[in-house]
């Protein structure tokens, strides 16, 4: 295993063992839930949106280390982002995972384009059956963003 693969493995394990933004939000927020029926992974997200920006997020779920780490990493990436930039980040993440979303990868200079630590999950592409695990939080986020934009 290369040193980069080992670093990525450690990032994923850290987020799985110490998930960020775990819990529920009180007060006005949007809520979405996702399920991967093929493996039983569950994920839910609460978003507090203020003036078009994600002010706070809370997640809950259970399942494999990939789905739960992906969700934890996602929370760190979206807090403080506009709804638009969170949607761009979602698109870029899915593109990194090899999912055709009908878009080209974003120029790294554009907001929402830089994946940062989320790139640790790109190794999941080697295991196609696990791609749904990694994208479950992002699909659930997209549902929450749809609610927040209405």
Q: How confident is the model at residue 114 (pLDDT cuts 50, 70, 90)?
A: low
Alpha helices in the chain (DSSP H): 3-17, 65-78, 83-96, 131-149
- Candidates 18, 83, 91, 94; CA nearest to 57 is 83
Which pLDDT belongs to residue 108?
Answer: 60
Which pLDDT belongs to residue 111?
Answer: 52
Q: What is the mean pLDDT of residues 120-124?
A: 88
Inter-axis angle of helices 65-78 and 3-17, nearest 10: 80
Q: What b/e readout covers 44-67, taking b as 16+ CB neighbours within 10 angstroms?
A: bbbbbbeeebbebbbbbbebbebb
Q: What is the mean pLDDT of residues 20-36?
A: 96
| CB of 90 closer than 8 Å to CB of 115 | no
| CB of 21 closer than 8 Å to CB of 72 | yes
Q: What is the pTM of this model?
A: 0.90
At 29, phi and psi to the nearest 5?
-165, 165
| CB of 57 closer than 8 Å to CB of 78 | yes
Q: Is the pLDDT of residue 59 over 90?
A: yes
Which pLDDT belongs to residue 70?
Answer: 96
- CATH no. for 3-149: 3.90.1010.10
Out of 24-38, 60-74, 102-116, which region has the weakest mean confidence (pLDDT)? 102-116
């Amino acid at each position: 295993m290369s040193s980069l693969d080992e670093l990525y493995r450690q990032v994923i394990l850290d987020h799985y063992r110490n998930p960020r933004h775990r819990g529920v939000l009180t007060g006005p927020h949007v809520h979405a839930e996702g399920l991967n029926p093929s493996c039983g992974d569950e994920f839910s997200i609460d978003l507090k949106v203020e003036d078009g920006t994600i002010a706070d997020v809370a997640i809950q779920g259970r399942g494999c280390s990939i789905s739960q780490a992906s969700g934890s990493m996602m929370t760190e990436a979206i807090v403080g982002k506009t709804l638009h930039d969170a949607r761009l980040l979602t698109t870029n993440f899915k593109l990194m995972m090899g999912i055709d979303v009908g878009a080209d990868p974003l120029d790294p200079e554009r907001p929402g384009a830089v994946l940062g630590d989320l790139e640790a999950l790109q190794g999941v592409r080697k295991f196609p059956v696990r791609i749904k695990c990694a994208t479950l939080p992002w699909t659930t986020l997209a549902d929450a963003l749809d609610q927040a934009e209405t």
